[in-house]
Amino acid sequence: MSPFARRRLARAKGYDWESFLGDCSGGAIAALIALPYGLAMASLMGLPPVLGVFTSILTAPVIAALGRNPVLIGGTASATVPFIALAVRGQGIGGAAKVSIVASVIMMGFCVIRLGRHIMRVPHAVVTGFSCGIGAMMLILQLDVILGVDSVATRSAGSTILQLGAVIERIGSTRLAPLALGVVVMVGATLSARWSSRAPAPLIGVALAIVLAKFMGFHEREIGALRAGMPPFVGFSWNPQDVLTVLPSAFALAFVSSVNILTTSRVVEHFRGRHQRMKTSDADAELGAYGIANLCAGMFGAPLSVGIPARSLAVVRCGGTTRIANLLHAVFLGAILWLGSGVVAHVPLPALAGVTAWMGLCLLDWSTWRRLPKMSRTDAAAFLVTALSVLAVNAVLAVALGCSIYGVRAAYARWVRPAAQVPDLQVD
């Protein structure tokens, strides 16, 4: 038996009912978060909304089987929207399938040439800045739903500042019912998490919100019934010109997705209490797993799957510890789609917004903010630049800007400082 198989068997022997319940609750709340976001992201791309949900359903089994981070939950994200939307405008769903399939093959190529281990060299201050920026973005993008105000800004990459401005302009029209539901979820989740670190805190918060909505007679928008069948394979034709047309977008999409996956994986490991850097071989294998999974999704025209901090953190906060949580997240999503009715259909959207906002607060990593005055100037600058850039531009460019701070410091230490320390020559 191989060492990898022996490790899997040893972990399986320690798996008990408590672990299974943690995986179940984590998978359930991750599915609840995934549903509205998957629908919204696919709509922004110009695809049928249900394909955004099928991304998670189709890719989760492959990622759970082949991925190295057991609680890294994948799904459709705003970072991939511009690339796939461009392909959809040009060639429809077939264009989305083409760019997704080529990007998936390129990601597998990144695995083969071992690019993942180099992406994993991103400094810790940049990773924590990325985490805090994503957390703030998650919180801001839910304010309009929680406050019950209309927003003209779209939920896409780089729109966070616009969204915040739009909400502030309409703060006077805040409605009590959605605010109460969102606050109940956040307070209930916070108290549950303090009571027990393994309690399904977000799930308890959602349950309290459902009870409050029924008791008070709130009539807020709900998830509703979604009935859908398995999407058909997407048919399209290739010609030599298509290769030249698709390749630049596919390469950019693959690189952006790879940075997102590995950075999110490090954030999730940080919140699991594992502060060691991921093994270089694991980083490469993670890209290969997502490449294979996205190839399966691309055949159906579903957009690429990348690491999603909110869903992954939900699994961790609910006590999920194994890759079974990822599988169950897909099972619950499938049940919501095919069964459609039941308790899940009546979950108010402000309650889901409260869950996402609570996850955003958790991602803000308050301990890092407390340590900020004690950080070196380079680390502090990289942390702040990354966090603010996530809100102002997009996550991938934010990581690049944060890393550039260290590049500037290295260049200064190598060329500028030695030149300044050379004494002037005295000429007699």
* Pair 292, 108: CB distance under 8 Å: yes
**pTM for the complete prediction?**
0.74
> What is the pLDDT confidence band of residue 179, given thresholds at 50, 70 and 90?
very high
- Residue 307 parent element (H or E): strand 306-307
CB atoms closer than 10 angstroms to residue 162: 14
Give the C-alpha separation, 227 to 336, whole Å.
8
428: pLDDT strictly greater than 50: no
* Range 295-320 average pLDDT: 89
413: pLDDT strictly greater than 70: yes
87: pLDDT strictly greater than 60: yes
**pLDDT value at residue 11:** 57
**pLDDT value at residue 427:** 45
Tens of pLDDT, residues 344-371 = 677 888 988 888 888 888 888 788 899 9
Amino acid (1-letter code) at residue 102: V
List, in order, residues 6 or more apart from 241 with CB less than 8 Å away. none
**pLDDT value at residue 80:** 84
> What is the pLDDT confidence band of residue 375, given thresholds at 50, 70 and 90?
very high
Report the Cα–Cα distance between both ends of the chain, in Å, rounded. Answer: 79
Backbone angles phi, psi at 75, to 5 degrees: 175, -175
**pLDDT value at residue 305:** 94
* Range 188-200 average pLDDT: 82
177: pLDDT strictly greater than 50: yes
303: pLDDT strictly greater than 60: yes
Give the C-alpha separation, 120 to 266, whole Å.
8
Q: What is the DSSP letter of 415?
A: I
- Burial (0-12, 13-18, 19+ Cβ within 10 Å), 96: buried
12: pLDDT strictly greater than 60: no
Residue that the structure tokens 């991938």 belong to: 396
The helix/strand/coil state of 322 is coil
**pLDDT value at residue 230:** 62
* Range 394-412 average pLDDT: 87
* Range 400-424 average pLDDT: 78
Tell me the HSE value of 73 on the side-chain side, using a 13 A CA sphere.
Answer: 34
Tell me the HSE value of 215 on the side-chain side, using a 13 A CA sphere.
Answer: 8
Tens of pLDDT, residues 199-254 = 778 888 888 999 999 999 998 888 776 655 666 666 666 676 777 778 888 988 99
Give the C-alpha separation, 309 to 360, whole Å.
9
What the block records as the tokens of 149 is: 């105000």
**pLDDT value at residue 377:** 92
* Range 299-306 average pLDDT: 91
Give the C-alpha separation, 226 to 299, whole Å.
22
**Residue of higher predicted confidence among 81 and 386:** 386
Please provide the average confidence, as pLDDT, over all residues in the chain: 83
Q: Which region, left, alpha or beta, applies to residue 70 given φ > 0 means left and ψ of -120 to 50 means alpha?
A: alpha
* Range 17-40 average pLDDT: 85
Tens of pLDDT, residues 120-164 = 788 889 888 988 988 898 888 889 889 998 765 555 545 688 888
The string over 54-92, giving b where at least 16 C-beta atoms fall within 10 Å of a residue's C-beta and e elsewhere, is: bbbbbbbbbbbebbbbbbbbbbbbbbbbbbbbbbbeebe
Tens of pLDDT, residues 250-261 = 988 998 899 889
